[in-house]
Structure 1
Amino acid sequence: MEMRSLALAVAAVACTAAQAQETDNREMEQVIVTGSRFVESIDEVPVSVTVIDRETIERQLQVSAELQNLLAIQVPGLATGNGSTSNFGTTLRGRAPLVMIDGVPQSTPLRNGGLGMRSLDPDVIERIEVVKGATSIYGNGAAGGIINYITKSAADSEFAGQASVSSRFSAVKFEDSAGVRTQGSVSGTRDQFSFVAGASRDERGVERDAEGDIMGTIYGLSESVTQNFFTKLGYRLDGDKSLQFTYNYFEGQQNADLVDVLGSVNDGTKTYAVKDDGDSGHGDPQGPRGNHNFMLKYVDNSLTDNTAMTVDAYGQVIENVFFFSPTLSNPEEGYDGGQSMIKSEKRGLRFNFNTQLDWEDVDATLTYGLDALNDVTSQPLLDGRMWVPEMDMDSLAGYLQSKWIIGNDWILKAGVRHESIDLLVDDYRTLKLCRDADTCSVPMDVKGDELSYEATTYNLALRYHINDHFSPFANYSQGADISDMGRLLRTATVNDIGLIQTEASIVDSYEIGLDTHFDDFDFSIAAFESTSELGTANAYNPDTGIYEPVRSPHKMWGYEAALTYRFSDRLSAGANYSWVEGEDEDTGEYLDARIISPPKFVAQLDWRPLDNASLALTYYHVGDRKRFEPDADGNWSGAYAPVSAYDVVNLSGNYAMDNWRFFAGIENLLNEEYFSARAQAFTYSGGAYHSMGLGTTVNAGVNYTF
């Protein structure tokens, strides 16, 4: 980053408010496992990290059970929420994050469908760790950082549990909007055995906007049913050795008796849904139809006197069904559209070792190991056509990460990872797809091949504890990314896979920041930049009606900040702000809204008027981003339309009595009429994304703990 830009960034950050975190946890040392694969104090991590604890998750659940909403509010640098089931366009500092559950990838980077964030119920999450910037510690798909859902651990007692029931409905127009959410979990520890089990079911009514109309169904939540079943079993062999098995099942499908009335960004009309009185609906229910995650973990904390070992094997089966789209039509073959599904099966084996070394004034930690992964991903259409052929990837990586604590004040981190990837694709034929009778893509027979990639990436970071109050840091990290190979293959215009520009992208990420801690006040700032020689943008081809990949170099830069202040034991406040921008370095043009989100500001106030009662108020502001000009006819295309600012206020509260807790939350308290940033900027699918945001919606329920 140029010095002038960096100075402006830091100056702007210094006067900007940022994210609220729970100050009551100040007296307990916060630890994370995501950044280095072992437990370490967050004060020793020289990168920007956001940790969302269980108390914050529970407070958000009083308003909404949607993880994307929670993350958008709590994580500076993460793109604005869009009120849907998809995280398409939800980037972290302008690049795609890797979503994980206990370290197991949920994203499908070979064909990124943007559904990984919504992969389990928030009631089974203990905390969420977000590490920002490119990272090679977990391999492919983490160009923007990592979002890791850490699931609950067993209670210390022999048996404990909780159950809740709640209802969510529109306060603008109640008709058909009421839904019911039920959830329960039990856990316990007895002798060497521990267990956690949880189940939830969320049945929704229709989602209504601020005018009382039903929101559009594309990636919608109206009349959807979400189910989650979670089990974690542990057995301690002795004081240092343990086994753990985890299984998570998640499905969340929309089977709505609704049909969209399409609006348009260009003429200012909104998209909304009406009851389907005929047979105008198409296809199967959209959403995850049944995603399975398995993990078996063995831990030995005393492999040698100073070395611990963790071995885990995991498997995953994903089937994510998308909405019916008329752009997948082929009139010659009798198809008036189509519905695609991303299928992905992963099998992985990981060996991780952690060695502690001590010298007179130096404490060293070495983390090293091997990762093996097989990922088979494709994107067929439900009618039998194959849109993205099966991609069979084998990956083997070795890594070494080191941390050096020098004199208790300096923390130095350095690491290297070497990854070898083989990707096999058989011969295939691209689809003929028609936007209308006269605009069709040209099908192509493509010769398959086995592609091989070798990538070595490095990271170097430094943090200095000036005193108990000030701690600056700087870091440089790289990530190797072959994300969204499927998008490249399905739009091939050559007859040999070897001629398609499938090279891996190396992302270079730079960051400087400062953390400050006082008795009742925390403040942090960070400025960042990332570059890559190959990007993932698309350009519209008017001759075929298809958005084709353009792999030109990309640069993103920005800044973010966070603060909290505790006025008293009963009153605390916080805020967060983030700004990110990006450009195509070949053309000098700004990147579109699929990659870059507008500025975001969040302020939160938490008040505990009684020992057993609390209230929380959240103000969520999304700023303007108007970087592009319309075409000669004054119309917008792709994801280039302007975004105008909007504001949303949420309110929640709870009251506890014995083992009972009564709670309520109101989303969009002031019934603001707005379009999300994605709805304003995206013109895809004939205006299907242009739904107005959620109107005032009430969520109320009761929780019982035993």
Structure 2
Amino acid sequence: MIKPLSAAIACLLFAGVPVENARAQENAQSTPPDANAQEEKAPANGTNPAQGATDLDKVVVTGTRTPKAVDKIPGAITLVSKEEIKHTLLVTEDATAVLARTVPGYAEASQAMSNAGETLRGRVALRLFDGVPQGSPLRDGSRNATFTDMGIVDRVEVINGPSASEGIGAAGGIINYISAVPTKEGNEFRLLTRYSTQFADDSEGWKVGLNFMRKQDNYDLVVGMSVIDRGMGYDADGRRLGMNTSGSVNDSVAKNLFLKGGFNFGENGEKRLQATYSHFKIEGNGDYIQVDGCRYYDPVDCPNPKPNTSERGHIFGSKAEFNDFEQFNLMYTDGDVFGGTFSANAYWADQAMRYPPENGEDRQDPLIPPNGPDGLIWDQSEIDTKKVGLRTAWVRSSLFNVEGLELRTGIDWVRDEAEQRLALTDRTWVPPMKYTSVAPYAQLSYDIGPFTISGGLRREDGELEVDDYTTTWYRGRREVTGGKLTYTETLRNLGAIWRINGQWSVFTAYGEGFGLPNVGIPLRNVSCPGAPYEVEPDCPKASVDSTFRELKAVVVNNREYGVNWVGEKASFSASYYDSRSDYGTSFAIDPATNDYVLFRAPTRIKGIEMSGDWNINDAWKVSALYSRIRGKTAFWTEDPAGRWSAGGLNKPMGALDVNPDKIGLTVRWKFSPKGDITLGSTTLLSRDLSGSDVREYDGREFTYEEHTKGYTLLDLGVNYKTDKYGRFSLGVENLTDKQYILSWSQVPGFRNYWAGRGRMISFTHEFTW
């Protein structure tokens, strides 16, 4: 279960170094320059050991770059442990399932290659892998959550709510996946095999993964390889699941290669150089095509409402969908630079995403011969992104010889490129875009007895460059002149924590986050006055400047208050947050295409989170979490001609943005020193939303209504470790074989009526030597 910890929403420094052996000091200094003596060295983590070590569970690096005790940082964080990841992997290989089960404010898992609708506290979070951003905010294709095999991930650090620490993309918080590190001297091999089935002839799946770790003297190495072959999924009614229109994990193969090596050097081993390479690709087999269901009863068109399903077949001329993520990360740290600790990360990432074929109206063009047997154009979207970046940080404790005063400062640089094409007909859909950012930052914290006060600034100075392009026929083939847009923002945070005694603490925090509004969507939607379907001969040229209102940055400010209690056998935490943006983003359905579009208007999201653990005795442990989120936006945006201003906050934000109330319960029984059983449940409650408004300018009336039905899913995990033959495990997802519709799929949209997965049974064997 999650650790109910105070943590790093107010930190301004970057993340990205594994911390398996890192320990936090019990005093206020997290990484003093002479912190070289420790009970266990941590050569693989890229951090400097600290004196007076305490447990890893009280250490965080996301947002700080070097280990820092979470009880010194005001805000809220969730630490997802290795054991929680292992338990989830017994049940499912879905990359985000562990977050949906353990992070209160994280939405339900999509059970797809796409992570559409998987928000954190109602906003899009920045996902990192060892500190390297995944995907691109320029054209977020909702594919940035499936980028590695979770078997190589050691733990996940989640900063809940907007954070300035990472600059671009972190308006909704940060989710940092931290890779494994060696913990034992010598060589260690781990072979994992997994077989899963839903007892249908094409539902079988398997996994083979091999991890090798070596730690000797000042050198260490990690090698991870895996192959996952997934069969077709079935719902609880025994029907094949529909193939997700944004990419399905059903009927797919995923391959992963991970390499990480480093060595410590210097007089006292205070310097470290580390290199990491990762290549992950998940690709559909293309053996099935979707058969659309129907949502509402109609005696002619829908006499028997059912969700989408699939049948064997292949769409003519199409290629398989995939996620192909490759990255390289070089890190250098030095524990003795001008009396502080210096770190630098240089990274490169190349990420490509292909989507399933579609024959929608926005894919058609009368000048292009149809390539489908139905006389229509079938085309596939591809998003390609590239980025290079450099992050630096310098940390000095006891600044000016004042004990408890700490400075963290540095500068970050990144160049992010992205474009989107219709691959089968070689058409530009979103033009090449390039974003370059330079961001200096500084953070001060001061420990005064039981109090810690922190605050800082980050200056985001970015430039977006867009090439000239022509929109598709559906948008009127409008010529658009490229250009440059400048984004500058000063982001602030301030927070305080009071450790009342050894058990109770309270905190308050204010933080700001910055992001771009999925720039590609408004650029590809630029159209002529007569569009869709028509090409106006006198259609005026457009320019990037003309869409600037839609391309404005997203700046989110978040206020939060929380309390933590840690007893001898139990712990509890609760927080309340209020997140606002004057020009935010939410998803809406385009009535012309039934596709998702961005809606730029003021937003306000408020929520309550609670979590707790109770170790009843050595054998029994109970964990629980609860999340309630409510969001409001406007029915209309500000008129570009100035005739009216944006509407009031009267439109509820629905399931595409804000998750229904969630309750999670977990019971673990350790029936012997070698075996345990874990029963978990996740409940999403039913929710009814409605709102209305009238625009004074023209008397137009607006209404919105949404109803989602809740459900409860149970999962079961059983482990038994033998001395000779390794660990044997049984996992059961959806234990009661509950039939349900995914919450975000209950909102009508283009071919999006999908049921969730029915009962699946998995057998796992893990052998370590």
- TM-score above 0.5: yes
**Residue 13 (structure 1) aligns with:** none
* Conserved? CA contact 1:459–1:478, under 8 Å: yes
**Residue 571 (structure 1) aligns with:** 620
Q: TM-score, normalized by length of structure 1? A: 0.91
**Residue 622 (structure 1) aligns with:** 684
Aligned counterparts of 1:496 and 1:361: Cα–Cα separation in 2: 54
User: Equivalences for 1:80-229 in 2 at 5 Å?
Assistant: 80-170=108-198, 173-218=199-244, 219-229=247-257
**Residue 64 (structure 1) aligns with:** 92
Q: TM-score, normalized by length of structure 2? A: 0.83
* Conserved? CA contact 1:247–1:295, under 8 Å: yes
Moved more, 173-182 or 521-530: 173-182
Moved more, 54-63 or 328-337: 328-337
Gaps of 5+ in 1: 1-17, 434-440, 631-637
* Conserved? CA contact 1:243–1:299, under 8 Å: yes
**Residue 35 (structure 2) aligns with:** none
**1:613 is aligned to 2:613:** no
* Conserved? CA contact 2:4–2:572, under 8 Å: no
Aligned counterparts of 1:113 and 1:544: Cα–Cα separation in 2: 17
Query: Secondary structure, in 3 states, of the residue corresponding to 1:137?
Result: coil
CA positional deviation for 1:331 = 4.3
- Change in CA separation of 1:397 and 1:20 when aligned onto 2, cut-off 3 Å: closer
Query: Secondary structure, in 3 states, of the residue corresponding to 1:55?
Result: helix
Give 1:503's match in structure 2, choosing from 552, 556, 559: 552
**Residue 733 (structure 2) aligns with:** 667
CA positional deviation for 1:403 = 1.6
Once the two structures are superposed, residues 530-567 of structure 1 have per-residue CA deviations (whole angstroms, 9 ceiling, x without a partner) of 11111223555546776554311111111110011010
User: Equivalences for 1:395-414 in 2 at 5 Å?
Assistant: 395-407=437-449, 409-414=450-455
* Conserved? CA contact 1:592–1:639, under 8 Å: no
**Residue 284 (structure 1) aligns with:** 319
CA positional deviation for 1:82 = 2.3
- Change in CA separation of 1:619 and 1:543 when aligned onto 2, cut-off 3 Å: closer
**1:522 is aligned to 2:571:** yes
Letter in 2 for 1:199: M
Aligned counterparts of 2:704 and 2:736: Cα–Cα separation in 1: 29
Aligned counterparts of 1:604 and 1:680: Cα–Cα separation in 2: 27
* Conserved? CA contact 2:163–2:170, under 8 Å: yes
CA positional deviation for 1:269 = 2.0
Query: Secondary structure, in 3 states, of the residue corresponding to 2:112?
Result: coil
Query: Secondary structure, in 3 states, of the residue corresponding to 2:522?
Result: helix
Aligned counterparts of 1:343 and 1:700: Cα–Cα separation in 2: 37
Letter in 2 for 1:136: A
Query: Secondary structure, in 3 states, of the residue corresponding to 1:159?
Result: strand
Give 2:435's match in structure 1, choosing from 385, 390, 393: 393
Aligned counterparts of 1:475 and 1:557: Cα–Cα separation in 2: 15
Identity, in percent, stands at 27
Moved more, 147-156 or 243-252: 147-156
Give 2:630's match in structure 1, choosing from 552, 561, 581: 581
Aligned counterparts of 2:746 and 2:577: Cα–Cα separation in 1: 27
Once the two structures are superposed, residues 604-642 of structure 1 have per-residue CA deviations (whole angstroms, 9 ceiling, x without a partner) of 001100110000000110111221489xxxxxxx99752
* Conserved? CA contact 1:307–1:355, under 8 Å: yes
Aligned counterparts of 1:597 and 1:575: Cα–Cα separation in 2: 18
CA positional deviation for 1:404 = 1.2
Aligned counterparts of 1:146 and 1:537: Cα–Cα separation in 2: 19
Letter in 1 for 2:320: P
Aligned counterparts of 1:503 and 1:425: Cα–Cα separation in 2: 14
CA positional deviation for 1:138 = 0.6
Aligned counterparts of 2:56 and 2:87: Cα–Cα separation in 1: 20
Gaps of 5+ in 2: 6-22, 24-53, 298-304, 371-376, 528-540, 635-646, 693-702
Aligned counterparts of 1:406 and 1:201: Cα–Cα separation in 2: 51
**1:649 is aligned to 2:679:** no
* Conserved? CA contact 2:358–2:380, under 8 Å: yes
Letter in 1 for 2:557: D
* Conserved? CA contact 2:716–2:733, under 8 Å: yes
**Residue 346 (structure 2) aligns with:** 313
Letter in 2 for 1:250: F
Once the two structures are superposed, residues 356-378 of structure 1 have per-residue CA deviations (whole angstroms, 9 ceiling, x without a partner) of 11689840221110101010111
* Conserved? CA contact 1:20–1:74, under 8 Å: no
Aligned counterparts of 1:701 and 1:538: Cα–Cα separation in 2: 39
Moved more, 195-204 or 279-288: 279-288
Say what the alpha-carbon RMSD is for the aligned residues: 2.2
Once the two structures are superposed, residues 444-492 of structure 1 have per-residue CA deviations (whole angstroms, 9 ceiling, x without a partner) of 2111101111111100011100111111101001112213011121112
Aligned counterparts of 2:67 and 2:159: Cα–Cα separation in 1: 14
- Change in CA separation of 1:29 and 1:96 when aligned onto 2, cut-off 3 Å: closer
Aligned counterparts of 1:491 and 1:206: Cα–Cα separation in 2: 35
Letter in 2 for 1:392: K
- Change in CA separation of 1:612 and 1:122 when aligned onto 2, cut-off 3 Å: same
* Conserved? CA contact 1:257–1:281, under 8 Å: no
Letter in 2 for 1:497: V
* Conserved? CA contact 2:594–2:749, under 8 Å: no
Give 1:678's match in structure 2, choosing from 744, 748, 751: 744
Once the two structures are superposed, residues 570-620 of structure 1 have per-residue CA deviations (whole angstroms, 9 ceiling, x without a partner) of 110011110111111424111232211111111000110011000000011
**1:275 is aligned to 2:312:** yes
**Residue 691 (structure 1) aligns with:** 754
Query: Secondary structure, in 3 states, of the residue corresponding to 1:80?
Result: coil
Query: Secondary structure, in 3 states, of the residue corresponding to 1:87?
Result: coil
Once the two structures are superposed, residues 495-542 of structure 1 have per-residue CA deviations (whole angstroms, 9 ceiling, x without a partner) of 111011222121111110101100011000011111111122355554
Aligned counterparts of 1:624 and 1:365: Cα–Cα separation in 2: 47
CA positional deviation for 1:221 = 1.9
Aligned counterparts of 2:555 and 2:489: Cα–Cα separation in 1: 8
- Change in CA separation of 1:467 and 1:543 when aligned onto 2, cut-off 3 Å: closer
- Change in CA separation of 1:67 and 1:611 when aligned onto 2, cut-off 3 Å: same
Query: Secondary structure, in 3 states, of the residue corresponding to 1:180?
Result: strand
Once the two structures are superposed, residues 665-702 of structure 1 have per-residue CA deviations (whole angstroms, 9 ceiling, x without a partner) of 00001000111112212x322x2x21211111001021
CA positional deviation for 1:302 = 0.8
* Conserved? CA contact 2:171–2:554, under 8 Å: no
Aligned counterparts of 2:560 and 2:61: Cα–Cα separation in 1: 20
CA positional deviation for 1:126 = 1.1
**Residue 243 (structure 1) aligns with:** 273
Once the two structures are superposed, residues 388-439 of structure 1 have per-residue CA deviations (whole angstroms, 9 ceiling, x without a partner) of 11101111000001221111x1011101000111111111111123xxxxxx
Aligned counterparts of 2:159 and 2:591: Cα–Cα separation in 1: 40
CA positional deviation for 1:156 = 3.0
* Conserved? CA contact 1:245–1:295, under 8 Å: yes
Letter in 2 for 1:324: P
